[in-house]
Each structure stands twice: as structure tokens, then as C-alpha cells.
Homo-oligomer: A and B are copies of this chain.
Amino acid sequence: MTISENKTSLCSGNICPCQEKCPLSAALEIIGGKWKIPILCALYNDGPTRYNALRKKIKGVTNTMLASSLKELEADGLILRTQYNEMPLRVEYELTKNTNRLIPILGSLSAWGKDIKN
């Protein structure tokens, strides 16, 4: 019945639609939400950036959303938080190596999203 073809697996062994989390859905959840991509893009474009500088660059974001999104991105290993105990306090955020491997994939997605509009 089921013919085993040499297709690219989207779920690495598990067949989607899966009950347990597949890595694809996991990845999309990590970068999902309204502010994650703008944050990643800002850090990608400008390198290490301070909290308030991010607030100014990302139009419309609130303290609540920026702080919680940064926390989640840090917990997921996508960004690195470095605190300098100066006065006043300085905190810088930057992309990690994991995220740099993600960038070209997002680039492809962006190109696909551009094409599909035509």
C-alpha cells in the first residue's frame, strides 16, 4: 500500500500530521509571534543592540512585548544577553550561532513569500 519513496521528510522520521511535536512545528513556534522576526532582523542587520535601541528600531513594540519576546528568544537559544554593570546599566542582545544558521533559511522563505504574490 504505502510506497516508500525518497521524499524529503519534513518531520525527520515522524510522519506529520503528528500528535507529538515535530521539529518543523517546534521551529515555527520558536520564531512565531508578532515580534520575533522583527527582533531577529534588527539584530541581524545591526549586530549587538541595547534594549532601548531595539525599542526605537522596532516600531510599535511595547515594553511588555519586547521584554517577553527577548526572554523567550534567549530561552530558546536564539539570542545572547550580555549585561555590563556600568552606570547606567548596559545590556546588549545579539544573535547566536544557531540563529546564524537559521538566517539563510529565512532568506529562502522570504524569497518564496515574495514570489507567491505574483
Residues of A near any B CB (own CB < 8 A)? 7-12, 15-19, 22-28, 30-32, 37-39, 41-42, 44-45, 57-61, 76-77, 98, 101-117
Contact = CB atoms under 8 A, between A and B. Distances in A.
Report how many copies the assembly holds: 2
A6 to B, nearest CB: 13
A103 B10 contact: yes
Nearest to A77: B116
Contact of A24 (B16, B26, B104, B106): B106
B109 A28 contact: yes
B110 A102 contact: no
Contacts of A107: 8-10
A101 B8 CA distance: 12
A27 B114 CA distance: 8
A11 B44 CA distance: 11
B17 A41 contact: yes
Closest 9 CB pairs of A and B: A27-B113, A16-B41, A17-B38, A23-B113, A24-B110, A23-B114, A17-B58, A8-B107, A26-B113
